[in-house]
Amino acid sequence: MRFICSICLSATIFLSVMASFSATASPLFQAVQAGYYQHLFRIDGSNTIGAELAPALVKAWLAKHGANQISVVDIAENEVRVVAFLPDRNAQVTVDIAAHGSGTGFSALAQETTDIAAASRPVKPKEQSLFKAVDLTNVDSEHIVGIDGLAIIVHPSNPLRSLSVANLRRVFSGDVHNWSQLGGNDEAINVFARDENSGTWDSFRHMVLGKMPLIDNAMRYESNNDLSDTVSQVQGAIGFVGLASVRDAKLMAISDGNVGALQPNKLTVATEDYALARRLYMYTAGKPTNAYVDDFLYFVANEGQKQVSDVGFISQEVQPVFPEYLSALPKPMQGLVNNAYRLSLNFRFNNGSAKFDNKAQRDVDRLLEFMSEHPDAELMLFGFASESDDAEMTMLLSKHRAMAVSRALRRAAIYPDVVRGFGSQAPVAAVEDNDGRQKNSRVEVWIRPPQAYAEVY
């Protein structure tokens, strides 16, 4: 047991007052020693997650287990402590959260000074190398919290509505200096970016800049919200933030290659079709041995998805959405999805295979739960693969992926009505790099509900 000495001064008064409360504590907290302060666990890493989402998740998790008097206390810049009282144990518990960037989380996890590394990008090979006995890409270590759309924001007066990834690269590398070069006003471009420790910066660099350097005079920020507030106040400004931090700035639609521009929204981000969609992660060094951490991560993947949505990110809850782009679908598919809704998840796979990635493994359970609640809905699975030189093999792989999802559902007695593959048709990303090919390799899930269900949505 570890004690938080900095707050022990008021312990006697606090505990005597709070002892008057009565509640039934969760079995999880029966091990908490009555009358003591106990530190449960610590989260280090991404500012995108740590600024608002992680505290909201911890507060909701503690409340679920019967805690009250829950508060968030600032302990340093971009660091907070969530404090709660357990009436049944007459004890106070704490969870610390430090939000200094994704890279700091992996360093702390490797040094065993934190329990959870929060990251707005996948673990890098050089970070994985710090863990000799643990594979952080394993499903026991990698936990998907939700989906974020990397938002490209400009000053509200900017007349442009969309930009391509290629033009973003030109702007942020300094190849373009005036908005008139992109069809906008004759106005200098002011570039704002996240700092080097940020997972948001890592994601942007990976998805947009590639090997190009960031323009030298870009202003750097540790906080998403501070960056967004500055962009909304500076003429000619452009920047990038997490989707939950758009605030008063103008949000741009983004295109990739020949694929049409999409704004980040519930469907385009949840399905990861949006060009700059990214997953939000929490990493542990293998399956957690700390019972509080293990229970918290289970909560995050399930009930905690409400907090993911409430904070402004896109949850992994399965929802039917009527799509806006039916005319862009393959002709044979258009007839199949007439009066149908697309579900807010895509199944994606390990590179070049029909084996589920970590998110897809958990999405099977989410889809099973959704279908158990709507057993009369017609279920359709459509597989896609990235373009290759062998069209026949591409078509076969797209079918195998749809069949892989079908098999997983059939094992739980859910029988899809339509299982089809469409090869490399309807791409959602350019295929110049592996990330684009991975995005195109997917299984979409559609439902055609009975009339009574259709009226609900």
Does residue 302 lie within any of the structural domains? yes
CATH number of the domain encompassing residue 178: 3.40.190.10
The answer to whether 362 and 144 have CB atoms below 8 angstroms apart is: yes
For the chain, give the mean pLDDT. Answer: 90
Tokens matching residue 127: 């970070």
Residue positions counted in the chain: 457
**Residue 378 to residue 342: CA distance in whole angstroms:** 12
**Residue 44 to residue 133: CA distance in whole angstroms:** 21
127 has pLDDT over 70 = yes
For residue 139, what are the CA distances in angstroms to 99, 128, 285, 401? 24, 14, 11, 20
14 has pLDDT over 60 = no
- Assign 7 a pLDDT band (cuts: 50, 70, 90): very low
Give me the mean pLDDT over the 202-222 stretch: 93
Q: Do residues 9 and 140 both lie within one domain?
A: yes
pLDDT score at 200: 87
Q: Do residues 64 and 120 both lie within one domain?
A: yes
Q: Do residues 328 and 383 both lie within one domain?
A: yes
Lowest mean pLDDT among 200-204, 338-342, 421-425: 200-204
pLDDT in tens, 20-29: 333 455 889 9
The answer to whether 272 and 347 have CB atoms below 8 angstroms apart is: no
Does residue 249 lie within any of the structural domains? yes
409 has pLDDT over 70 = yes
143 has pLDDT over 90 = yes
The residue whose two tokens read 């542990």 is 284
Q: Do residues 136 and 188 both lie within one domain?
A: no
**Residue 386 to residue 273: CA distance in whole angstroms:** 13
330 has pLDDT over 60 = yes
Does residue 427 lie within any of the structural domains? yes
Q: Do residues 99 and 58 both lie within one domain?
A: yes
Give me the mean pLDDT over the 382-408 stretch: 93
pLDDT in tens, 62-98: 999 999 999 999 999 999 999 999 999 999 999 999 9
Does residue 366 lie within any of the structural domains? yes
Q: Do residues 70 and 127 both lie within one domain?
A: yes
Nearest to 93 by CA among 112, 114, 69: 69
Q: Do residues 329 and 452 both lie within one domain?
A: yes
Q: Do residues 157 and 125 both lie within one domain?
A: no
Does residue 268 lie within any of the structural domains? no
pLDDT score at 433: 67
pLDDT score at 243: 86
- Assign 400 a pLDDT band (cuts: 50, 70, 90): very high
Above pLDDT 70, what percent of the chain? 92
Q: Do residues 245 and 157 both lie within one domain?
A: yes
Give me the mean pLDDT over the 304-308 stretch: 96
Q: Do residues 379 and 409 both lie within one domain?
A: yes
Nearest to 52 by CA among 39, 62, 43: 43
- Assign 3 a pLDDT band (cuts: 50, 70, 90): very low
Q: Do residues 341 and 423 both lie within one domain?
A: yes
Counted domains in the chain: 3
Q: Sign of torsion, CA 57 195 116 87?
A: negative
Does residue 114 lie within any of the structural domains? yes
Among 50-54, 187-191, 331-335, the range with the most confident prediction by mean pLDDT is 187-191
What are the residues whose beta carbons fall under 8 Å from the beta carbon of 25, sequence distance 6 or more?
Answer: 32, 65, 66, 86, 87, 88, 89
pLDDT score at 25: 57
Query: Partners of 41 in the beta sheet?
Result: 95
The answer to whether 150 and 194 have CB atoms below 8 angstroms apart is: no
Lowest mean pLDDT among 55-59, 280-284, 336-340: 336-340
Q: Do residues 341 and 451 both lie within one domain?
A: yes
The bridge status of strand 116-119 relative to strand 277-283 is antiparallel
Does residue 439 lie within any of the structural domains? yes
pLDDT score at 456: 46
Does residue 22 lie within any of the structural domains? yes
pLDDT score at 414: 96
Range of 370's domain? 318-456
Give the global pTM. Answer: 0.81
372 has pLDDT over 80 = yes
What percent of the chain is helix, strand and coil (3-state, nearest 5)?
35, 25, 40
What are the residues whose beta carbons fall under 8 Å from the beta carbon of 450, sequence distance 6 or more?
Answer: 376, 377
**Residue 172 to residue 239: CA distance in whole angstroms:** 9
107 has pLDDT over 90 = yes
- Assign 10 a pLDDT band (cuts: 50, 70, 90): very low
CATH number of the domain encompassing residue 365: 3.30.1330.60
